Copies of this chain bind each other. A is one copy, B any other.
C-alpha cells in the first residue's frame, strides 16, 4: 500500500483524534471531587477493560468493586501503612515523598480492586518462558479502563502502594490470586496539565528519542 492510498481500515479522523487525545490527556489522578458514577458509564468502562488482549485468551483479570465504606477505610489504612514504609525506604527523599499526594481513595466516587486470578499455572500459551504475561494482560485491561474514563471526562488513579498479602487477606482472595491495583475512579475539578509527579518536581520525563534503539541495545540509553 502506498502512503497516498487511503487505508480502508483506518477510523474517520475524529475517531482517530479521540484515541490520541485520550492517550495524551490521560493522567494518574489523585484529586477527585465527590459524586457517584452513573451505573451505565461504569459498566461501559469495565466492559472496555474486559476487551483487553490477554495471553492465550486467559482473561486473568478479576475486578472487585468496593461498595462498603468500612472496607474502603481499611483499604485506605493499608495504603497509609505502606506509604510510611515506602517513605522510609526512599531514604533521603523521605520527607519529599511524604509531601506528595499519592492516592484519592476516600474522595473518589468508585473504588475498584484489580486482581490476578488464581490457578494461572494452567495457562501455558505465551507464558512458558514469560509467566508474567498474565500481569501484562491485566495492565492492558486497566489501561483500557483508564483511556475510556478519560474520554468520558472521568479521572482515574492506579495506586500500587500497598502490601498485596494484606489486601488479599482483607478481600478473602484464594491462594494464588493477587491484587495488583487499587483503582480510584471519579469526577475531577481539573486534569493535571502534566503528570502530577512532574508538576510536583518529583521526576522529569525523558523524551522518546532517548528510549529508542535500532537492532541492538545502545549504551547511550
Contact = CB atoms under 8 A, between A and B. Distances in A.
A137, A174, A202, A215, most chain B CB atoms within 10 A: A215
Interface in A162-221: 162-164, 171-174, 177, 180-181, 187-188, 191, 195, 197-198, 202-203, 205-206, 208, 211-217, 221
Interface of A: 1, 3, 7-12, 14-24, 26, 28, 35, 38, 44, 46-48, 50-53, 55-59, 61-68, 71, 82, 85-86, 89-90, 97, 115, 117, 124-130, 132-133, 135-140, 142-144, 146-148, 150-154, 158-164, 171-174, 177, 180-181, 187-188, 191, 195, 197-198, 202-203, 205-206, 208, 211-217, 221
Given A7-B153, A59-B211, A129-B164, 18 more contacts: A10-B153, A16-B152, A20-B148, A23-B144, A47-B208, A53-B146, A53-B158, A57-B202, A66-B214, A67-B215, A82-B128, A126-B159, A128-B161, A136-B139, A139-B139, A140-B140, A140-B142, A171-B216
